[in-house]
Structure 1
């Protein structure tokens, strides 16, 4: 049985907008969204993975695809919602939605590679680790393919 994205445990990350995030047009520069996504995904990993696993693994971004919906401003209260969509081998695929209240400001699809912290080589995560990110697996004890 395959674990669906709807089973992914959402992780909320509060984005702090700084004056240096603002560009010449008076709104957040596109590069700042990448910083936010990286911080949000890594915070998600640290929040849900077991501590001993976190210390043995690192993550590097492979690809980001950002769809900008609305501009973001210095005074905005912004939350990023992170969902782990799937894991294939050493790769993880994430969706991050950046919102101001109910308004979607940006949608980001990203892929990441898990590395062994000692060797810096790609590392597969054990099924038991991956299951920490999916509610159905935790609640039902299901051992689906991830």
Structure 2
């Protein structure tokens, strides 16, 4: 089983910068959440999204390099490990011009039943679109 990555491009704008004129750390967290949500929306049906929601359990973020105004970035995400109710989502943010990693993040998410707001099991219908399954 191989994860299917999802990505989108982003250009650093003035509103993303802090007092040091590089991307504010809070922007990276927003981007991690946005790419995760975009992957969920692009990969699942409206019916699935109505039935389930994901809640963040924790983030682990490594800031490798700085990004600056005008930098073109690639946000790439995929599902790594998973259990009955949680997934570990990876997000890498790369600078397009040199391919250097700016940020590496892992976020643990738990699946929630949208109506009850309680943990629910991750079914194959939820998980299957995120992986390529090798045929025997």
**1:85 to 2:101 alignment:** no
- Give 4+ residue runs of structure 1 displaced > 2 Å after superposition: 13-20
Gaps of 5+ in 2: none
Tell me the distance in 2 between the aligned counterparts of 1:130 and 1:86: 11
2:46 corresponding residue in structure 1: 51
- Superposed, 1:100-139 pairs within 5 Å as 100-101=95-96, 102-136=99-133
Tell me the distance in 2 between the aligned counterparts of 1:16 and 1:114: 31
Whether the 8 Å contact between 2:13 and 2:70 is mirrored in structure 1 is no
> What is the DSSP-based 3-state SS (H/G/I as helix, E as strand, rest coil) of the residue aligned with 2:111?
strand
> What is the DSSP-based 3-state SS (H/G/I as helix, E as strand, rest coil) of the residue aligned with 1:75?
coil
**Deviation (angstroms), 1:16:** 4.8
What's the TM-score, normalizing by structure 2? 0.90
2:24 corresponding residue in structure 1: 29
Gaps of 5+ in 1: none
Judge which range, 99-108 or 13-22, deviates more. 13-22
* Structure with greater proportional helix content: 1
What's the TM-score, normalizing by structure 1? 0.84
Q: CA RMSD in A?
A: 1.6
Deviations 1:81-129 (A, max 9, x none): 1010022122110111001111111100110111111111112121132
Report the number of matched residues.
134
